[in-house]
Amino acid sequence: MIRIIFTKMVGICGLCLMSCMLADTITVHNRSNKKVFIALYYKRGSRAHRIDPVVKIEPLTYVTLGRPAYRTECTMVTEGENEAKFGYDRKFFIALIPDQLKDELSHVERKNLASQNIGKMQGDTFYIAELNFRFKGFNSFEWHIIRPMIEAGERLVDSAVQIMRDNVKKLLPAVKVNPYKRIAAIVRQGNQLCEQECSYLRARKINVRVALEKLFDISIPDNAVPTIAIVASGGGFRAMLATIGFLSGLGQLGLLDAVIYISSLSGSTWAVGSWFSSGLPITSFKTKLIPQLASGLLHVNFPEVSLLIDAILTKWCFDQPITSVDFYGALVGNKLLKDFDKKRHLVYLSDQAELLKEGKWPLPIYTAIHVRSHLTPEWCEFTPYEIGGAWLGHYVPSWAYGRKFDNGESIDYAPEQALSNHFGVFGSAFSMTLKQIYEIMKDKISKDAIRRIIERILEDIGHQRLTIPCFHNFTFDMDSSPIQNYRHIKLVDASFDFNLPYPPVSGERPERKPDILIFLDASTTIEGVPALKRAASYAEKHNLAFPIINDPDISKKAITVLKDKDDLNCPVIIYMPWIKDIELWNSKKYEMQFDFFRQYLDYFDPKDCIHSFCVTSNFMYNQHQAEQVCALAEFNMKASGEILFETIKERIITSNCLDLLE
């Protein structure tokens, strides 16, 4: 056997050497079942320059191309010495999308593409294949000798790993209790709302009408019930606490019952997600959550590490991509879902649909952005019903997100992604190294076998800062999808685009077209309202109605109302930043209903706090600090009640008059 392999190696090496002397053309075979694109480049150092146009190679076909001439560049080493000559590498790069093969590739862009050296010593015949969901280039020797040996070894390893995965699966609670473990999921096409959300809207509108009629003592026809949406910013635990304070204030005003959507981002997703999962009234939830923030994310005990490991192993058992964000999300969930005790990593987004059945709660929309190197960020939305995005035009049931899909149908039965995992993705702007994570876990992992699996996972990821979270692309191989050729979806914290999650409730999906948008902004920077201006730019880019931001004092006031008096179809914008409006505070603080806030706000300055315990990266608040952050938002909301009532009532009357005219 060895003699046969050696003889084959000698023969192929001889062919390669002969081709080096004779060939000035190359043949590239596409041995994959996908159409690929290649382009020839000169590369030296960090630069790669394309030589010829991009070439398409259909599946199981080949093309013949001219090999680029050998090229050198002369450089003077030091004055008076001879010039040194440096050669350029000749390569072809491989892509599924031709636009990725730019005229010039940066270092990062090159790292994301497969390539193959095509210098004369490599021979004249090359192959492209897909191995482990990645494209790879081979010369003739690598294709006929090295590749089969590697594949044989990988098959042995994969077989052993799969046996281990199957054994671990039997022990995992998430697998045992999965209610969808025998149900295949189907991807839904089109941007119309799903039937569950339509049913919810019918029920919610009835409850909103009842709440507003009671507040304003008026009769509201069905077609004049306003769609009120909250848009809550990111900003770590500061934004989480501020969002809770704002919502608590709305609840005390009686207006939380009039809200239909709550769109959240980063830190505010942690507020909304953990509140909904608790099922408690917002004030009761605030009381339970605040004491849990006195210790940081890295304060975990032995039983908690065991639960965290189960969450990671659930993904590993179903061959799902694992990044440092999975560990980070498990730590966030460990803190915020503590009341669920041993089931804190068995809390799911789809569970929240139960609260929505009778339309008694607002509908939560959580956000992240999909990143592709050559395109602007693409906003994704997560509801208890579905996950997808208007740009994508495809949606998957929330309980099936993360599974492997082929042509619109799931091909495994993996359990739903834990809410803690979503928390990690939604708030992935924060830094934490894997070394930090492992240091708190290593002495608390009781079983050697599990320790080895976790160590291997961490070794595969590497001790880097947070990596981009990856999930199986549920639209893979669907002709109707703009990302049909991508095996994975890469998501990050939506604040990397802008810090107010306006897109899901912008009217881009017409059935959600808002009448009133309440922006709750706890961003680090309020001066100049950059996040609100970015939302306005998004509206302009997508031809959506948005009033002009023309109040010079908007960043100094607790509430600003923006309207377009000439366009009654334009939503009313209510902007409420997390600031201390000194004029408002001094005018209200001695009133009996606001006297409670003085213990927290008399000497509290949010501008100073932003550089102290309110900094976005802080995950530890004592009781008084957390109460201060909540109190400022709650006071601003309650003190602005009269303006809120007037604005909402005016919109109802205007809408009713407009309908009568039509």
Q: Contact at 8 Å (CB) between 208 and 222?
A: no
- Residue 86, pLDDT score: 62
* Chain CA centroid to CA 183, Å: 26
Digit-coded pLDDT (tens) for 253-262:
999 999 999 9
Question: Are 296 and 426 part of one and the same domain?
Answer: yes
State how far the Cα of 202 lies from the Cα of 359, in Å rounded to an integer: 8
Domain end (from 147, 169, 188)? 147
SS3 105: strand
Non-local (6+) Cβ contacts of 229 within 8 A are 259, 260, 261, 262, 263, 505, 512, 514, 516, 517, 518
| pLDDT on residue 584 | 97
> Do 596 and 612 form a contact (C-beta atoms < 8 A)?
no
Question: Given this model, what pLDDT does residue 166 score?
Answer: 77
CB 619 within 8 A of CB 296: yes
In a domain, 377, yes or no: yes
DSSP for 422-483, written as a single string: HHHHHTTTS---HHHHHHHHGGG---HHHHHHHHHHHHHH-S-SPPPPEEE-TTTT-TT-TT
pLDDT, position 440: 53
3-state DSSP assignment of residue 135: strand
Q: Could you tell me if residue 156 is inside a domain?
A: no
Place of tokens 């009039």: 258
Residue 74, SS3 per DSSP: strand
Using only the alpha carbons of the chain, give its radius of gyration: 29
Q: How many CB atoms lie within 10 A of CB 109?
A: 17
Predicted confidence (pLDDT) at residue 137 exceeds the cutoff of 80: yes
Q: How far apart are CA 545 and CA 485, in angstroms?
A: 34
Q: What are the beta bridge partners of residue 30?
A: 128
SS3 assignment, position 397: strand
* Structure tokens, 189: 């096409």
Contact 324, 466 (CB under 8 A): yes
Identify the domain boundary among 91, 118, 147. 147
39-43, 74-78, 85-89, 411-415: range with lowest mean pLDDT: 74-78
Quick check: 333 and 423 in contact, CB under 8 A?
yes
Domain of 619, CATH number, reads: 3.40.1090.10
pLDDT at 13: 46
- Report d(CA 135, CA 38) in Å as an integer: 12
Quick check: is 211 in a domain?
no
Considering only 6-20, 407-421, 451-465, which range has the smallest mean pLDDT? Answer: 6-20
- Kindly state whether residue 215 falls inside one of the protein's structural domains: no
Q: Identify whether residues 140 and 232 lie together within a single domain.
A: no
pLDDT at res. 12: 44
Co-location of 131 and 233 in the same domain: no
Please give the average per-residue pLDDT across 504-515, as a whole number.
97
Instruction: Indicate the range of 103-107, 366-370, 495-499, 571-575 predicted with least confidence.
Output: 103-107
Q: Which residue has the higher pLDDT, 184 or 9?
A: 184
Name the band, by pLDDT with cuts 50, 70 and 90, for residue 157: low
With beta carbons less than 8 A apart as the criterion, state whether 610 and 523 touch: no
Section 399-427 average pLDDT: 96
Which of 107, 128, 147 is the endpoint of a domain?
147
- The reported pTM is 0.78
Task: Confirm whether 495 is domain-assigned.
Answer: yes
Does a structural domain hold residue 209?
A: no
Report whether pLDDT(15) > 50: no
How many structural domains are present in the chain? 2
Q: Could you tell me if 392 and 515 lie in one domain?
A: yes
Please state, for a pLDDT cut of 70, what percent of the chain lies above it: 85
Q: Which two tokens stand for residue 205?
A: 């509108």
Tell me what pLDDT residue 145 has: 75
- Specify the pLDDT at position 148: 77
% of the chain beyond a pLDDT of 90: 68
Is the pLDDT at 494 greater than 50? The verdict is yes
pLDDT(152) > 80: no
Where does the pLDDT of residue 105 fall: very low under 50, low under 70, confident under 90, or very high at 90 and above? very high
Q: According to the model, what pLDDT value does residue 1 have?
A: 43
Pick the more confident residue, 41 or 19.
41
Q: Note whether 346 and 340 are within 8 A (CB).
A: yes
Q: What is the mean pLDDT of residues 272-282?
A: 98
Mean pLDDT of 111-127: 91
Whether 465 has a pLDDT exceeding 60, the answer reads no
Q: Does residue 168 belong to any structural domain of this protein? A: no
Residue 218 domain flag: no
Which pLDDT belongs to residue 150? 67
Range of the domain at 559: 228-661
The residue whose two tokens read 């799969």 is: 162
H-helix or E-strand containing 517?
A: strand 516-521
Indicate the pLDDT class of residue 211, thresholds 50, 70 and 90: very high
Q: Which residue has the tokens 């949606």?
A: 395
Give dist(CA 499, CA 243) in Å, integer: 14
Tell which wins on pLDDT, 167 or 573. Answer: 573
What is the pLDDT, as a whole number, of residue 625? 98
Report the C-alpha gap between 471 and 387 in whole angstroms: 12
Look at residue 150 and give its three-state secondary structure. helix
Categorize the per-residue pLDDT at 22 as very low, low, confident or very high, splitting at 50, 70 and 90: very low
Is the model's pLDDT at 460 over the cut of 90? Answer: no
pLDDT for the residue numbered 434:
55
